[in-house]
Structure 1
Amino acid sequence: MEKQIYIKKGNGETELFSFEKLKNSLRSSGASNEIADSIVDKIQRDIYDGMASNAIYKKAFGLLKQKNKISASRYSLKRAIFDLGPTGFPFERLIGALLKEKGFETKVGVILKGECVTHEIDVLAEKDEYVYAIECKFHTDPRNTSNVRVPLYINSRFLDIQEQWNKDPKNKTHLKQGWLVTNTRFTEDAINYAKCVGLTLLSWDYPSNNGLKANIDTYALYPITTLTTLSKREKHELIAHDIILVKELLNATDKMKSIGLSDSKIQKVKNEVINLCRINFS
């Protein structure tokens, strides 16, 4: 019979731990049923009331890494996005790359004049003569959520630049919509307000089955912080060299050498990238 264990979440609250949810997350990372079952069995033997959720994650990640490094990379995606910090720029680059995969032309960090004041737009995306202004709210703490005040503020900024953009005869495109993207979650009020005013929201798991995680998996836009073959120091040195996505490492041999990686380690890193992104060169 499955244990009834209450664990401690990062925000200090306790909740009943779901072994089924753990198994599903392992399976969604690409782990086989056999590997997922063995990890769940191990966790069941070691878990106890009051155990921190982060400690459970680390234990499951460590066990998965021993059995399947590629699955471990995918399993670590949520944590890996937090590790892109402390600044929000790498996250903005990630969102720009995602929109590019969806057929948009994108620019990151654009200054636009509004009707009242000037605004810095995190990502400006264009497709089919329509332009979209995307604001990215990056958090390093998973406990931080975006409440209704955030879309209220973002929508007011959007309306200011939309007024100015669409009346400017030099602009041949139409500024259609504002977007708000976060790596955590939105409150229910934030979602309801955004629906009401026509603001598109994207978070870790919203919209359902089309959130950040689903899109990153679909387009294999994994950040370099997911890789198991790089140390934390190496990852952040590469981020400082503006390498954000694992795919970029395939053409970044010189930059990897510049931070001290040997030829053999560079090949290991590239092999992990190829397997993680399911790249086929045939």
Structure 2
Amino acid sequence: MKTMDTNIDIIKSSGEKVKFSLDKLRASLGKSGADKHTVSDIIEQVQKELYHGISTKEIYNRAFALLKKKGSYLASKYKLKKAIYELGPTGYPFERFISAILRYSGYDTHVSEIVQGQCVSHEIDVIATKNGNTTLIECKFHSEEGRNCNVKVPLYIASRFKDVKIHWNSKPHETVLDVGWVVTNTRFTEDALQYGNCIGLYLLSWDYPKHDGLRNRIDRLGLYPITVSTLLTKREKQFLLSRDVVLCRDLIDDVFFLDHLGISESRKSKIKNEIKMLCKI
């Protein structure tokens, strides 16, 4: 493979201009589970189409199309970040997705519950209980790429959590109110991270904490949203999301929803096989 031109300027979704990174492309393709030969082959083909000012979206679309030819489940893993955006436009499916991930980690969870504070009541996105501790989780979902959570988000969440905790501690409860969480599908700004960590919130974003961010957890647990599927149509995904089916693996043992999509047995078999490969079931 010829030497990669690393002086090519590319445009991120935020509008920021940066230098193309071979390492980032190789790493993102590697996370799909593709072997080294496949990754190198795709990089070589993408290289031929690079030009100054190309968008990261164009690079992604080309790499995705090439990867899909190698295997639908590889392309599914590669599109994980985009698939989470596709949970929108409202944040409700994202809240249910976070709830589902926590359930597989041993938590008892509830979504969109009203909790009384000292001053006012609050609607909490996810309440998770485990080992005698209760955690209040606020989900900040962005349906557009390039939008990050600034310091106003943890400031707001910290004040709500404080209000609830004062009232919680004034009454007898079976569990202890643990730290508050802020979860986003994008990233936190430096100020948001600094304030959130200082005030004692637990922050979870696409790539934070390092090696234990949202992407790491999804890959490690095999808990992919149904929107990663390359075989389900957009309409079919929306049908499933409207019925609170957010995880791919939920379709393996529950044929009810696939039956109600009105798809053929052969296509149903391909979808289930894709999910098994994706989730390593």
TM-score higher than 0.5: yes
What is the aligned counterpart of 1:21 among 13, 20, 24? Answer: 24
Aligned position for 1:81: 84
Q: Is the 8 A contact 1:115 1:161 kept in 2?
A: yes
Query: How do 1:152-191 residues align onto structure 2 when only pairs under 5 Å count?
Result: 152-169=155-172, 171-191=173-193
What is the aligned counterpart of 1:90 among 88, 93, 107? Answer: 93
State the 1:117 CA deviation.
0.4
Q: Quick one: which amino acid aligns to residue 167 of structure 2?
A: Q
State the 1:85 CA deviation.
0.6
Aligned position for 1:216: 218
Q: Is the 8 A contact 1:94 1:221 kept in 2?
A: no
State the 1:49 CA deviation.
0.6
Q: What SS does structure 2 have at the residue aligned with 1:142?
A: coil
Q: Quick one: which amino acid aligns to residue 166 of structure 1?
A: N
State the 1:67 CA deviation.
1.0
Q: Quick one: which amino acid aligns to residue 267 of structure 1?
A: S
CA distance in 1, matches of 2:235, 2:132: 42
Aligned position for 1:206: 208
CA distance in 2, matches of 1:185, 1:31: 26
Cα RMSD over matched residues?
Answer: 1.1
Residues 1:271 and 2:273 aligned together: yes
What is the aligned counterpart of 2:237 among 228, 232, 235? Answer: 235
- Structure 1's unaligned 5+ residue stretches are none
Q: Kindly, what percent of the aligned residue pairs are identical?
A: 48
> So what's the TM-score if we normalise by structure 2?
0.96
Cα distance change of structure 1 residues 135 and 271 upon mapping to structure 2, 3 Å threshold: same
Aligned position for 2:122: 119
Aligned position for 1:140: 143
Q: Quick one: which amino acid aligns to residue 241 of structure 1?
A: R
What is the aligned counterpart of 1:51 among 41, 50, 54? Answer: 54
CA distance in 1, matches of 2:176, 2:211: 29
State the 1:118 CA deviation.
0.7
CA distance in 2, matches of 1:58, 1:253: 31
State the 1:252 CA deviation.
3.3
Deviations 1:16-52 (A, max 9, x none): 1112210111112101110000000001111111111
Deviations 1:200-253 (A, max 9, x none): 000000000000000001111100010111112211121112211001111332
> So what's the TM-score if we normalise by structure 1?
0.96
CA distance in 2, matches of 1:8, 1:114: 45
Residues 1:39 and 2:20 aligned together: no
Residues 1:30 and 2:12 aligned together: no
- Runs of at least 4 residues of structure 1 off by over 6 A? none
Q: What SS does structure 1 have at the residue aligned with 2:179?
A: strand
- Structure 2's unaligned 5+ residue stretches are none
CA distance in 2, matches of 1:264, 1:242: 25
Aligned position for 1:7: 10
Number of residue pairs matched?
278
Q: What SS does structure 1 have at the residue aligned with 2:139?
A: strand
